[in-house]
Amino acid sequence: MLNLQRHLFPNKRNLLSMGINLLDKLNNIRSKNNEPTNADVLEGFKVLLSKPNEGERILGNLFSSNGNQEDLNFDTLDVNRIFHINDIQKLCIDYRLRFLDSKRFNGTFPSEALDAIKAFEQQQDKEIKGFKMIAPAGMFKLAEKDKDPLLFVPMGGNYYYLIAQWGKDLHPLRKILVYPFRDFESLMKSVFGFCMLVALLFPESLMRGPKDTGTILHLRVIFFFWMVFSTGAMTALYGFSRMKNFNSNLWKSKYLD
């Protein structure tokens, strides 16, 4: 039997060794498709790795920008997107936001922002490397994250050009909630307003004791000043320890508080 097999299949080992070499097949397919040679492939990879794609280039500029001024072609700009530093300052103070270089931004840049920068560069026929951001403090590695950043390019003369906006809108009550933190004057107005409201709405039955002979107005005035004293003390002890600084001092600060 063994002799018969040897007779019928004298080169069985050779037949088994004649399998399909996938690498050879792949090389054959590449040669038929007129793919570049090995030297061309290596040269192409060198060029590809030495020159990042557009998205990587733009992200690299965003995360390394010091907010330097850009020389722009004003003929291609939309006048409605040009904002003065005073307008930006007021917005940041009103809503307790930060206006900092894009390299300090801790959020993500969506595709629409990168597309907007690419389109703007095509309009300007130049690469843009100076970027500034308006966003809540949390998006600059400072605190709890929030929403709705704005991306600007410095134009010079304290003017900035808005390139892109993304994310969700800020909470509609944010301006009211952060009003006491604008500056010291706003804080005192908030304390006095709160104390006056409480003094006016506090029930008369709880204010007047069995031996009180003064008028209700007299009692409310005394209660108002007591509220100012107690609320002011609580604000100084607890509020400043949590808030630490006012919006007017923080809007361009790169520090936590």
Residue 87 in any domain: the answer is yes
* Strands 82-84, 132-136: pairing kind: unpaired
Check whether 168 has a pLDDT greater than 60: yes
Q: Is residue 170 part of a domain?
A: no
Q: Say what percent of the chain tops pLDDT 90.
A: 9
Q: Determine the structural domain holding residue 11 and report its residue range.
A: 2-49
**Domain annotation covers residue 173:** no
Query: Does 255 map to a domain?
Result: no
Residue 129 vs residue 27, higher pLDDT:
129
* Together in a domain, 118 and 159: yes
Q: Would residue 15 count as lying in a domain?
A: yes
Do 236 and 223 touch, CB atoms closer than 8 A? no
Q: What is the pLDDT of residues 76-132, one digit of tens each?
A: 899 888 999 999 988 888 888 888 888 888 878 888 889 999 999 999 999 999 999
Q: What is the pLDDT of residue 18?
A: 57
Whether residue 154 is found in the same domain as residue 81: yes
Burial 104-142 (b: 16+ CB within 10 A, else e): bbebebeeebbebbeebbeebeeebbbbbbbbbbebbeb
Residues 41 and 64 in one domain: no
Percent of the chain with pLDDT over 70: 63
Shared domain check, 140 and 63? yes
pLDDT at 229: 84
Q: Which residue has the tokens 């900035």?
A: 160
Averaged confidence pLDDT in the chain? 75
More reliable by pLDDT, 26 or 41 = 26
Total domains in the chain come to 3
Residue 171 lies in a domain: no
* pLDDT tens for each residue of 189-219: 888 888 888 888 887 766 666 666 656 677 7
Quote the radius of gyration of the chain (alpha carbons, Å). Answer: 35
- Report the predicted TM-score, pTM, of the whole model to 2 decimal places: 0.56
Residue 9 shares a structural domain with residue 35: yes
Task: Please give the structure tokens belonging to residue 256.
Answer: 């936590």
Residue 3 has a pLDDT of 52
Residue 214's alpha-carbon distances to 199, 227, 248, in angstroms, are: 16, 19, 44
Pairing of strands 82-84, 97-101: unpaired
Question: For residue 256, is it within any domain?
Answer: no
Residues 36 and 119 in one domain: no
* Sheet order of strands, 97-101 included: 82-84, 159-165, 150-156, 132-136, 97-101
Same domain, 64 and 159: yes
* Placement of tokens 């992200």 in the chain: 59
pLDDT in tens, 215-252: 667 778 888 888 888 888 777 776 665 666 776 667 66
One domain, residues 36 and 96:
no
For the segment 10-15, the average pLDDT, to the nearest whole number, is: 50
